[in-house]
Amino acid sequence: TARAPLAVLTSGLLTAWAKQGEGDTEAAFELVDGLSGPSWYEIFKNYHTALIADVAGQKDVAVRAITDAFETDGSALRVVEAYGRILSSAGKRDQAIEALERFMQTQPGNPVIGFLLDELVAGKDPGPLVSSTAEGAAEVLYGLGAAIGTDEGTELPAAYLHLSLYLKPDSHLALTALADLLVSADRCEEAIRIYGRVPQDSNLRRNADIQTGFCLDNLIRTDEAVALLSKLIEKNPEGLDAIVALGNIQRGRERFAEAAETYSRGIATIDEPTAGDWRLFYFRGVAYERSDEWTKSEADLKKALDLNPGQPQVLNYLGYSWVDMGVNLEEGLDMIRSAVDQRPNDGYIVDSLGWAYFRLGRYEDAVAQLERAVELKPEDPVINDHLGDAYWRVGRKREATFQWNHARDLDPEPTDLEVIVRKLEKGLVTDGASDG
């Protein structure tokens, strides 16, 4: 069956840890080495060989195996953490620090690696990642549970994570992974309970609170989410993770002025913006635009492009805004085309290009792009509405009426619904009849 490779790897690694528990390290190594399967086996084999060797005090074997795993995937959190701990324990602290610093450049703010790096820099001994057979078995179940994915549902990965927690109840990473899994299954009530089990002194507590904020918002308990995130920001005003989370929740709830203010707090903490900061300026630019503060919005969107030239979301938003206002038409159109070239399967960006053509009176071009946008996002009322307008302009009035009917049935915003109903009664009267 499709799950056979997973079952083989799970039982093989668990049996190897059982052998290690009996004191037979060589048999454990042989068992892991003998596991054959898909290419993704390799990193798990190297990783658990390293952990078994570490528990058995075989430092050279541990260093060799964890280095192989790290070179295979230097972005896997547990592999990076084990690499730092094992190398440090083997007297290679400087090498460990350098690797962790590189990781933190790609994932700034990661609480697990950040905490470990601080310990190593301070000269502390962080100890082993796994110190017993039971913890080794828990690590097998956690690692596989976190890696399985949810393509076939959440039951199997959740079972792995529950078993891991049974063996190691204080594993904050397994708790967080289980809660994240519940969020992906739209089970926010349960997820909040699991996040709540992460202790206050854990370096994952802040992350658990931020995710709880998103869950509360998802449950339409937005004021509670805002209160929780505001507390986190008060506790650490420099922490951009909570600031961006709060701004995004406010923006998602159309509290645009509040969102702009929140993003401004984040921007104020940055001395010299770098390429990664483009999002903050983009988010604030969107919030300003939706608050009818176009001058501020345009400045932020341009700043986002300065920081990250060619970023498709920003190109699309700024280009579309210009075309919609009837200014910088050619430059705006070029920006949207560039965004579509980079994201040809993004229905919203393709819709922007179609709507830009519509605003410029190029109705045949508009139809071609908007038909494609509807193929990509068939359930979006705005895109269906736009296609109806374009059909009307090229004389395909029956198809226009069909699209508007469809848009009406897709639960559009109340203001859009009014406009759609009016078009169904009277047809398209003015170019601006649809609010793009």
Q: Model pTM?
A: 0.83
When the pLDDT of each residue in the chain is averaged and rounded to a whole number, the result is: 93
Residue 435 has pLDDT above 90, yes or no: no
What dihedral do alpha carbons 212, 215, 220, 225 form, nearest 10°?
20
Domains 4-195 and 323-436 share a fold: yes
Tell me the pLDDT tens digit for each residue of 212-256. 999 999 999 999 999 999 999 999 998 899 999 999 999 999 999
User: What is the distance between the alpha carbons of residues 91 and 272, in angstroms, rounded to a whole number?
Assistant: 36
Architecture category of domain 323-436 in CATH: Alpha Horseshoe (1.25)
Q: Which residue has the tokens 């009426």?
A: 401
Q: What share of the chain is helix, strand, coil (3-state, %, to 5)?
A: 75, 0, 25
**Domain extent listing, the chain:** 4-195, 323-436
CATH top-level class for 4-195? Answer: mainly alpha
Q: What is the DSSP string of 50-108?
A: HHHHHHTT-HHHHHHHHHHHHHH-TT-HHHHHHHHHHHHHTT-HHHHHHHHHHHHHHST
Query: In the prediction, which pLDDT does 401 show?
Result: 96
User: What is the distance between the alpha carbons of residues 401 and 40, in angstroms, rounded to a whole number?
Assistant: 52
Confidence of residue 432 (pLDDT cuts 50, 70, 90): very low
User: What is the distance between the alpha carbons of residues 311 and 289, in angstroms, rounded to a whole number?
Assistant: 18
Tell me the pLDDT tens digit for each residue of 398-424. 999 999 999 999 999 999 999 999 999
Residue 67 has pLDDT above 50, yes or no: yes
C-beta of residue 190 within 8 angstroms of C-beta of residue 182? yes
Q: Please, what is the Cα angle at 71 between 68 and 73, to 5 degrees?
A: 110
